């Protein structure tokens, strides 16, 4: 069976995790990407979770969240959230930061707080967790969004949970140059951010048409010289499907095929 767009997304995201480097991994699909990467090409990656666990090996049980203590199995460090967010993340000790961004706008602002007015929202979302810090001070920030629905990509989010607003404004507020969004990975492919911090289409997964991809965004998203992403190998597809089955057994809700 050919890879689904969702499986392509996980494999593409996993490629941003390199062997022997330190990566800060946020909740949900970034954790799946991290396990896929460790099994495929990055067995010696160092993964930092927001609760203070530092993992340098594949755990036998899939953690349901960064706070699941099965992630501490054989961990090199079990510290605190302050250690993770400031000693590791804030000090720039990580190469890449992976953050789930279920609602993200043209400048990479992420909303995990409320849809509609904050005081009387249409939907009250789970909130920040460590997302504010990851979005604000994380180096090499990779955003992950598993949706292709326009509602997930408004021109402007209703609430900014993770503050990322444009390269110039970030610089004026004193954020370090290496921070802020660099890449968005989703089932369509990969978006990047220009010198002003605006998102544009950079690469597409196989079978995704450019016009369809543009139609998934709530503004006239720009497209540069759009690359075609490589299709997954048989081994990559085998590993990602095994990890998704493992995730399902650990109560992850998977998208319908």
Q: What is the C-alpha separation between 165 and 168, in angstroms, rounded?
A: 8
Catalytic residue among 50, 55, 133, 236: 50
For the chain, percent of residues with pLDDT exceeding 70: 98
Q: What is the C-alpha separation between 109 and 105, in angstroms, rounded?
A: 5
Give the per-residue pLDDT at 220.
Answer: 97
Q: Which residue range(s) make up the domain with 113? A: 5-249
132-136, 149-153, 161-165: least confidently modelled range: 161-165
Q: Where are the alpha helices (DSSP H) in the chain?
A: 5-14, 29-40, 81-82, 131-137, 167-172, 210-214, 234-249
- Indicate if the pLDDT at residue 52 is higher than 80: yes
Question: Is residue 255 one of the residues assigned to a domain?
Answer: no
- If one counts the domains in the chain, the total is 1
Give the per-residue pLDDT at 250.
Answer: 94
CATH number of the domain at 170, please: 3.40.1080.10
Question: Is residue 10 one of the residues assigned to a domain?
Answer: yes
Cα–Cα distances in Å, from 139 out to 92, 185, 228, 229? 6, 16, 26, 24
Question: Is residue 119 one of the residues assigned to a domain?
Answer: yes
pLDDT in tens, 191-203: 999 988 899 999 9
Asked whether 159 and 114 are in contact (CB, 8 A), the reply is: yes
Question: Is residue 117 one of the residues assigned to a domain?
Answer: yes
Question: Is residue 180 one of the residues assigned to a domain?
Answer: yes
pLDDT in tens, 18-47: 999 999 999 999 999 999 999 999 999 999
Q: What is the C-alpha separation between 195 and 204, in angstroms, rounded?
A: 21
Question: Is residue 192 one of the residues assigned to a domain?
Answer: yes
Give the per-residue pLDDT at 165.
Answer: 66
Side-chain-side CA neighbours of residue 137 (13 Å):
14
How many residues in the chain? 257
Among 77, 74, 84, which Cα is nearest to 54's? Answer: 77
Among 30, 80, 26, which Cα is nearest to 52's? Answer: 80
Question: Is residue 128 one of the residues assigned to a domain?
Answer: yes
Q: Where are the alpha helices (DSSP H) in 152-221?
A: 167-172, 210-214
pLDDT in tens, 61-89: 999 999 899 999 889 999 999 999 999 99
pLDDT in tens, 74-127: 899 999 999 999 999 999 999 999 999 999 999 999 999 999 999 999 999 999
pTM of the model: 0.95
Q: What is the mean pLDDT of residues 240-256?
A: 94
50 has catalytic annotation: yes
When pLDDT is cut at 50, 70 and 90, the band that residue 164 belongs to is low
- Indicate if the pLDDT at residue 257 is higher than 80: no
Question: Is residue 256 one of the residues assigned to a domain?
Answer: no
Bridge partners of 199, per DSSP, are: 193
Q: What is the mean pLDDT of residues 37-61?
A: 96
Q: What is the C-alpha separation between 139 and 111, in angstroms, rounded?
A: 19
């Amino acid at each position: 069976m050919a890879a689904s767009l969702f499986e392509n997304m996980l494999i593409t995201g996993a490629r941003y995790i390199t062997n022997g480097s330190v990566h800060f991994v946020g909740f949900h699909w970034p954790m799946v990407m991290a396990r896929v990467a460790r099994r495929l090409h990055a067995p010696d990656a160092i993964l930092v979770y927001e609760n203070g666990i530092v993992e340098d090996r594949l755990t036998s049980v899939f953690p349901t969240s960064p706070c699941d203590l099965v992630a501490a199995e054989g961990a090199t460090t079990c510290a605190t959230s302050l250690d993770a967010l400031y000693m590791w993340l804030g000090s720039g000790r990580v190469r890449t930061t992976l953050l789930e961004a279920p609602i993200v706008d043209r400048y990479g602002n992420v909303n995990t707080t409320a849809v509609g007015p904050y005081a009387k929202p249409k939907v009250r979302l789970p909130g920040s967790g460590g997302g504010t810090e990851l979005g604000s001070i994380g180096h090499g920030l990779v955003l992950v969004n598993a949706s292709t629905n326009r509602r997930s990509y408004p021109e402007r989010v209703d609430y900014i949970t993770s503050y990322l607003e444009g390269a110039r404004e970030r610089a004026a507020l004193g954020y370090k140059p290496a921070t802020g969004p660099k890449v968005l990975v989703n089932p369509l492919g990969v978006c990047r951010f220009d010198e002003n911090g605006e998102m544009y289409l950079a690469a597409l997964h196989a079978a995704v048409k450019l016009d369809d991809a543009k139609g998934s965004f709530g503004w006239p998203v720009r497209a540069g010289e759009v690359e075609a992403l490589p299709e997954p190998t048989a081994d990559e597809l085998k590993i990602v499907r095994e990890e998704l089955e493992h995730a399902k057994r650990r109560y992850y809700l998977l998208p319908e095929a």
